[in-house]
Amino acid sequence: MNIGEAALQSNLPAKTIRYYEDIELVMPERSANGYRNYSDKDVHRLRFVQRARSLGFSIDECRSLLSLYQDSNRASADVKALATSKIQEIDRKMTELGSLRRTLTALADKCHGDDKPDCPIIDDLAGTQDPFQ
């Protein structure tokens, strides 16, 4: 099938599929005239990568997951280790986002939000002292 059909079946834009081909996540065969010829197996790989990416896995992690997927002798412990590592990364990011939210909330609470130029948010961004005053 051509890239348009592969895009429809995988629910990915053709541009993303070309990128995945460039980084060798998927390697469709080429016909004699140079056109890409995607197989059902290629579309399955594209869907696999799309799902992994939607769960937050990086391209390199997707590469590892694909490798494990294709290895019938894989240990599920290896797959679980990747997932557990991703969970820890997500937890760390959630902690960071919580801290950012608390900081921005405190700054927004201090800001009067009126017509005057005084603004604790700007002061904080500028390093607590507005050098333009």
State the residue range of the domain holding 119: 3-125
* Whole-structure pTM value: 0.78
pLDDT in tens, 83-129: 999 999 999 999 999 999 999 999 999 999 898 888 989 998 898 65
- Which helix (H) or strand (E) segment holds residue 121: the answer is helix 120-125
Residue 131 included in any domain: no
Q: Residue 37 phi/psi, 5° resolution?
A: -125, 100
∠ CA 70-73-74, nearest 5°, is 70
Q: Any idea what the CATH number is for the domain that residue 102 is in?
A: 1.10.1660.10
pLDDT in tens, 42-96: 999 999 999 999 999 999 999 999 999 999 999 999 999 999 999 999 999 999 9
User: Does pLDDT of 132 surpass 60?
Assistant: no
Residue 130 included in any domain: no
Which parts of 8-120 are beta strand (E)? 29-30, 36-37
The one-letter code for the residue type at 70 is Q
Question: Model confidence at 32, in pLDDT bands (50, 70, 90)?
Answer: confident
Count: domains in the chain = 1
Q: How far apart are CA 100 and CA 22, in angstroms?
A: 36
Q: Which two tokens stand for residue 110?
A: 């201090």
Q: Give the residue carrying structure tokens 């590592």.
A: 85
